[in-house]
Amino acid sequence: MIKIALGVVAGLVTWFLVATAGNLAFRFGWPGYAGVEATMAFSPAMMLGRLALGTASSFCSGAVAAWIAKQRTGAAWALGIVLIGLFIPVHYRLWQAFPLWYHAAFLVSLLPLTLLGAWVLGRARAPAAPR
C-alpha cells in the first residue's frame, strides 16, 4: 500500500513537472503563445499542442507511478482517478474559455493515458520470451 501511495505522489509530481516544462517550452518557443496565455485565447493549434502536452504528462506520470509502485497497476488507476478529481474543478472554472471538445478530450484521456504509461513501462521491463 505504501508503494502505491508513493507511486501516486511521484506520478502527480511527474505530471506537473512535465506539464510545466512543456508549457515553458511553448512560452519561449511558440510565437504568440505567451501573449495569449493570460487570456486563454489560444488558437486551435495551440489547444492541440496543450492536449499533446497533457498526453505526454499523463503517459509519463503513469509510467513513473508504476515504476515506483513496482508494476502495481493500482497506482496508475489511483493516479488517473486523482488526476480526474483534480482537473474537473479546474475545467469547470475554465468552461467558457475552451470549446467542449477540448474539455472532453483532456478529461476523458487522463485515466487511459495514465494506464497506458504504466502498461508500456511494464512491457518494457518484462523479461523477454525465450526463443
What is the per-residue DSSP string for 23-84? HHHHHHHSTTHHHHHTTT---HHHHHHHHHHHHHHHHHHHHHHHHHTTT-HHHHHHHHHHHH
Q: What is the pLDDT of residue 129?
A: 57
Q: Would you state the pLDDT for residue 121?
A: 83
Q: Are 41 and 72 in contact (CB under 8 A)?
A: no
Task: Output the pLDDT for position 131.
Answer: 63
- Stated pTM of the model: 0.89
- Residue 130 is classified by DSSP as P
Output the tens digit of pLDDT for each of the chain's 131 residues.
Answer: 899 999 999 999 999 999 999 999 999 999 999 999 999 999 999 999 999 999 999 999 999 999 999 877 889 999 999 999 999 999 999 999 999 999 999 999 999 999 999 999 877 666 655 66
